[in-house]
Amino acid sequence: MLRIVCCIFLLGALAAIPAGALRDNGLARTPPMGWSSRGFGQSVDDPLVRAIADAVNANGMRQAGYSYINIDDAWQDSQRNGQGDIRPNGRFPDMRALAGYIHSRGLFIGIYSSPSAKTCLGYEGSYGHEEQDARVFAAWSIDFLEYSWCAGDKTHDSETSLRAAYLKMGEELHRAGRPIVYSLGESGKYEVWKWAAQTGANLWRTSGDVETQAEFARPGHWNYPGPLTPSAPPPGKQAHRAAPDDPALRMQMSMWAMLAAPLFVEGDPRSWSTNVLAILTNHEVIGVDQDPAGTPGFRRSASNGLEVWIRHLADGGKAVGWFNHRDTRARFTMTWSDFGADSKSVVRDLWQHRVMDTSKPEFLVDVDKHDVMMVRVYTSQ
């Protein structure tokens, strides 16, 4: 995944910025990809983060585009220093040194804070200290900030208040002078996807109807439906042995690719099976997710647990996904012309990595229960 810092903005792209909104920071031109420590809760520490960075380097994830190693809640101390600066707790003795280690592995480092006085787990938040914290994060060489608000928090009781808090941090990140991808965590109560980009955010958590939110996604600004969650290997299995397949993860990867969603993974990559890693690093599916046009797909049809999704791609082709949410195997009957394909088109099955036969106008798609088939249609010339 390319991480581009734009020093000169095109005037035409900035002409319609609403009053009070921040300019595009030039980052995250395709959906960001990486790992989050969220699944480790309050047990996250410096040695773990370094070990995960090493694992992501060794297992092919970095090479596939998973570039960010993000530390979630629980890294902060219980109080600030005498100057009011935020500081890490004893599990993180030197954040700048940790950032240096992550960078030396060819990766970027992310951190977590909140627009409230306290974070979701009760640690020190950034409310009232936005300028100081943005400056500290920049001094530590942080590359990504997840700024997460808990719905039960009393600091913000309206969209206006929360929106202003997100904008404030966006402004301070800009002033801090370091390129930092800005991610908003919000419960969905205030429909953050409608206004997040105006606060300088590059991505934001979504909820509800993903189709109605698609219009707000574009290069540099992404709907984020949540983390990818691989299954743990069965008890007694070695991490390097092939564990049973994970169709739920394959479905999730496929849907996130259709939505042009950021790909952030939770869990321990040191324990994932070869099958799980093959799903997460499928370069053809990732290629759809990272398509430079940044246009999310749409649901073409839905009936009784069966869905067909289509996404238009930058090269003029399409990605098509058949999703079976039923508890039994399902068959889809389709024609190639439904997707603008013909006998001269090249159609690749992205999970089987093979070219499909397009010589007949009609074709059948058999999909196992809770599984998916996904293809890419290359238009004929």
Give the Cα separation of 116 and 94 in Å (integer).
24
- Per-domain boundaries in the chain: 11-289, 298-378
Mean pLDDT, consecutive 10-residue segments, the chain of 381 residues?
A: 36 41 94 96 97 98 98 95 96 98 98 95 95 98 96 86 97 97 91 96 90 93 95 45 73 97 96 94 98 97 95 96 97 89 90 93 93 91 54
Residue 110, pLDDT score: 98
Do 246 and 279 form a contact (C-beta atoms < 8 A)?
A: yes
Domain 11-289 and domain 298-378 have a common topology: no
Give the Cα separation of 53 and 75 in Å (integer).
17
For domain 298-378, the question of CATH label 3.40.50.300 is answered with: no
Q: What is the DSSP string of 218-246?
A: BTTBEEE---B-PPPPPTT--TTS-PPP-
The single-letter DSSP state of residue 129 is -
Do 103 and 109 form a contact (C-beta atoms < 8 A)?
A: yes
Tell the residue number behind the tokens 């934001």, with chain if given: 204
57: left (phi over 0), alpha (psi -120 to 50) or beta: alpha
Residue 240, pLDDT score: 37
Residue 339, pLDDT score: 85
Residue 10, C-beta contacts closer than 8 angstroms, at least 6 positions apart: none
Do 87 and 37 form a contact (C-beta atoms < 8 A)?
A: no
Question: 11-289 belongs to which CATH class?
Answer: alpha beta
Residue 380, pLDDT score: 62
Residue 260, C-beta contacts closer than 8 angstroms, at least 6 positions apart: 31, 217, 222, 223, 289, 291, 294, 295, 296, 297, 311
Give the Cα separation of 62 and 190 in Å (integer).
35
Residue 381, pLDDT score: 54
Beta strand 203-205 with 181-185 is parallel
- 181 strand-pairing partners: 144
Residue 244, pLDDT score: 57
Residue 233, pLDDT score: 46
